Chains A and B, each alone.
Chain A
Amino acid sequence: MAGIISRLQRETPSPAANTTEPAVVRWSLITVALLFLGLVVFLPLASVFYEALHKGVGLYFKALAEPDALSAIRLTLLTAAIAVPLNLVFGLAASWAIAKFEFRGKQLLTTLIDLPFAVSPVVSGLIYVLLFGAQGWFGPWLQAHDVKILFAVPGIVLATTFVTFPFVARELIPLMQAQGNDEEESALVLGATGWQTFWRVTLPNVKWGLFYGVILCNARAMGEFGAVAVVSGRIRGLTNTMPLHVEILYNEFNSVAAFSMASLLAVLALATLVLKNLIEWRARRVQAEAERSAAQQVQS
């Protein structure tokens, strides 16, 4: 019995079985990696929550319940609620066009989709100032018709939408390209209209990729600082989003309130990561299940 157990233990492959480096090298490498991770990721994250909570939970919630804080939270949620659906629709449409059709200027469109990633967010914000500012191209017309875009909610939504546009499209284009056109062509030959093909074949095939893109897009939409800072004007209680509000509070040495707000953003980021991993895990599980039963099928 004891012999069997020890043999089993010996046969169980351990991670170290294939490495020949001495233990000293292995452990010092692992230590360096962990130290780095702790210093760069865990310590700052922990300090956000420590700073927010170290003067008591009461103060933490009081800071969040401030009217200006609540208004910042509301504005951030509103911005995300407009920008994310817009990017979902346009990102889906753009990737559908790019991945499934051939047309002139396709390369240009692909490059344009990457533009928001390529330019600094500050520049993205400045574009809107140039367009809609008092001295901008459409400024006089907008003033004459009493439409406020800059230093108001529409400007913030526009800037956020611009900056977060690539997330959905970048996620879907490679996926759709890998899947090819065969299934769509099958549907068309079977009598489906273009619309039916899109809803019944194209969309279900990319739904996990789409969820994933939307989650990343949402995280960025809520966290965007640079572009929004340029167009918002930072009017407290009116055009302050959460990230902007954090900066204002911090500059006023109100560190508990600043970190309370920051901790909310951090929680949001963590939730996004958990959700993203859940989706990846689910997609992997679905595939593994399919492969397993396929293997069983072949055996039987």
Chain B
Amino acid sequence: MKIETQNINKHFGAFHALRNVSVDIPDGQLVGLLGPSGSGKTTLLRIMAGLETPDDGRILFDGRDTTHLPPRERRVGFVFQHYALFRHMTVFENIAFGLRIQPKAQRQAEGAIRERVMSLLQLIQLEGLAARYPAQLSGGQRQRVALARALAVEPKVLLLDEPFGALDAKVRKELRRWLRELHDTIHVTSVFVTHDVEEALEVADRIVVMNTGRIEQVGAPDHVYENPANPFVCNFLGNVNLFHARVHQGRALVAGVEVAVPEHAEANNKPAFAAARPHDIEVTRTCRSSDSIGVMVDHILPIGPIVRLQLRRTDNRDLIEAELSKDQWRTLKPVTGEYLYVEPHNLRVFVEEDYVI
């Protein structure tokens, strides 16, 4: 089912949680709502589920206005951040809940319910634990039960609030892959909320980046990562180094380097920001051109397969972060306190008047 939200606003007291949010969730896709805490992503998800009502704006399911439909008539599955399993019911009864509460006329026979629950237990690979209580399960198991419970009523949309937020890193990774595979088998339109960039980039077909109640950018993960629309998205999707720059008629001057920026052809000597990811900072021992920036090595942090260098510019004392692969590091062999040169590549230029950081 396709979901559209149109110009949604939501206040909590004086706090403006959502500002004019319009976004389309295409049918059958797995969409990630990504943003820092307080960006309004969970509120947007709860409005889709009917657990909150927007102050104004509309929400459409397959073109039908559902803005004021109560949650139980929306046929959505919702998975809560802390699972919200019914603590006094067994795993079996938790999953069967949505089937048992249906009005008598529509309710399935006991045998059919049993069959459905058993097949869901098989899907989540917990067949042996049907008689357990939620308190007797590990975090990852609870998460899967919550998912099975939501799927039991055959929802048209699956909404997940920080689905892996409360799990440890390893389980999180496993479940993430499992959710992706599950979505590839059942194809139900799914929206999940996360503040974890890696999670969103890995799992989602499409990501919606949010900040302070606004949508900053929507698109395929790869596309958004490679073409961030503004400094916020650029910064949020991964560490970046920001340089002051000036843009004049399609050319940007960044730290002494001139870069072509055809998209800003009409800009006239405007202040701008240029961003370069740490792995796009080339570190050299010799000054190869007038474009190089002189730096001093502050810290060297080996992190697994990469080595992060914290560098300080000799001209204005600003910090620059560079990432080297282990191989590059071995060739260069920098030491703390040494003077080196850096050249930023793949710079993205944002004219300042459009965006303020």
Contacts and interface: CB of A to CB of B under 8 A. Distances in A.
Interface of A: 182-183, 185-193, 196, 200-201, 204-205, 287, 290-291, 293-294, 297-298
B26 to A, nearest CB: 22
**What are the nearest 9 A-B pairs in CB distance?**
A182-B84, A290-B135, A190-B98, A189-B78, A186-B84, A191-B72, A204-B88, A192-B101, A189-B71
5 contacts: A186-B80, A186-B149, A190-B97, A190-B150, A297-B138
A185 B86 contact: no
B114 to A, nearest CB: 18
Contact of A183 (B74, B76, B84, B152): B84
A189 B153 CA distance: 10
A191 B101 contact: yes
Contacts of B137: 294, 297
B87 A191 contact: no
B227 to A, nearest CB: 36
A201 B97 CA distance: 10
B72 A293 contact: no
Contact of A189 (B51, B82, B88, B132): B51
A187 B80 CA distance: 12
B96 to A, nearest CB: 10
B74 to A, nearest CB: 8
Q: How large is the interface on B (under 10, 10 to 19, 20 to 34, 35 or more residues)?
A: 20 to 34
A182 B153 contact: no
Contacts of B132: 293, 297
Contact of B72 (A190, A201, A204, A294): A190
B136 interface: yes
Contacts, number: 77
Interface string B161-195: 00000000000000000000000000000000000
Contacts of A192: 72, 97, 101
Secondary structure call for the A interface: helix
A182 B80 contact: yes
Nearest to A197: B101
Contacts of A188: 51, 70-72
B133 interface: yes
A207 to B, nearest CB: 8
B102 interface: yes
Interface in B48-81: 49-51, 70-72, 74, 76-78, 80
Nearest to B152: A190
Given A290-B136, A297-B136, A187 B82 contact: no
A188 B75 CA distance: 11
A182 B81 CA distance: 9
Nearest to B78: A189
Contact of B78 (A185, A200, A204, A293): A185
B76 to A, nearest CB: 6
A186 B79 CA distance: 8
B72 A290 contact: no
A192 B98 CA distance: 7
A290 B98 contact: no
Contacts of A187: 86, 97, 101
Contacts of A186: 78, 80, 84-86, 149
Contacts of B97: 187, 190, 192, 200
A200 B84 contact: no
Given A182-B82, A196-B101, A205-B88, A189 B76 contact: yes
A77 B153 CA distance: 49
A244 to B, nearest CB: 42
A188 to B, nearest CB: 5
A283 to B, nearest CB: 12
B86 A189 contact: no
Among B74, B84, B152, find the residue whose CB has the most chain A CB atoms closer than 10 A. B84
Contacts of A298: 138
B120 to A, nearest CB: 13
